[in-house]
Amino acid sequence: MKKSSQSIMSKYSDKSMKKKASSSKTTVEDLPLMANYEQRYKGMSKEVTREQPKPTLDEKIAKREKLKKAPVEEKRESKRVSVEINGNMYLLGCTENISEARIRKIAALTNDILSNTKENNPGLPNSKINALALIDACDRILTLKDENSNIKTELMYYQQKVNIEEEKDRPEPTPMELLANETEN
């Protein structure tokens, strides 16, 4: 993701709105969109996701019995990591699934987004800075999801193209193969 010297949040800060409002009649509708959501591949999701059959009463009972008989898991020990975000120290726990390095990386990214928002919107209270930083983070997530969706679509296109090319290269079946296929069906 490209980093710019000015955050997208500076367009939406109260200070910039007051300047624009004093110079001309600017409404919220005049501002550019922060994120544009489009449901593009609605049909693909139906093909990929299949409905799971509903479990019968016997299956539900058997599952419940397994849970009752399963030994109680011992409490997992979590390691605590101290991180600084926006000048405040936080003590976060990491488990087997989330490593200490990952938590530090997440905290550094969070601190970067908050400090960038604070630089571009001086004089705002922390609650508004936090809200703008959250909006910026959500905008980044939506942008990445959209890019991911586009890449998946391109991949499917190229896979279909390869499949079509492979079908062209296949020799036609011999009469014996056709007869064998007919008897199998």
DSSP sequence for 144-167: HHHHHHHHHHHHHHHHHHHHHHHH
Give the pLDDT confidence of 4-39 residue by residue, as tens digits. 545 555 555 555 545 554 555 555 455 554 444 444
- Interhelix angle 126-169/100-120, rounded to 10 degrees, is 120
pLDDT of 55: 80
Q: What is the pTM of this model?
A: 0.47
pLDDT of 137: 92
pLDDT of 30: 55
**Per-domain residue ranges for the chain?**
77-169
| Helices (H), ranges, the chain | 14-23, 42-48, 57-69, 100-120, 126-169, 175-184
Structure tokens at 39: 């449901």
CB atoms within 10 A of CB 121: 20
Q: Hey, what amino acid is at 155?
A: L
Residues in the chain with pLDDT values less than 50: 1-3, 5, 17, 21, 28, 33-48
pLDDT of 19: 53
Residues 6+ apart with CB under 8 A from 114: 85, 86, 129, 130, 133
Whether the Cβ atoms of residue 139 and residue 119 lie closer than 8 Å to each other: no
Helix (H, G, I), strand (E, B) or coil at 131: helix
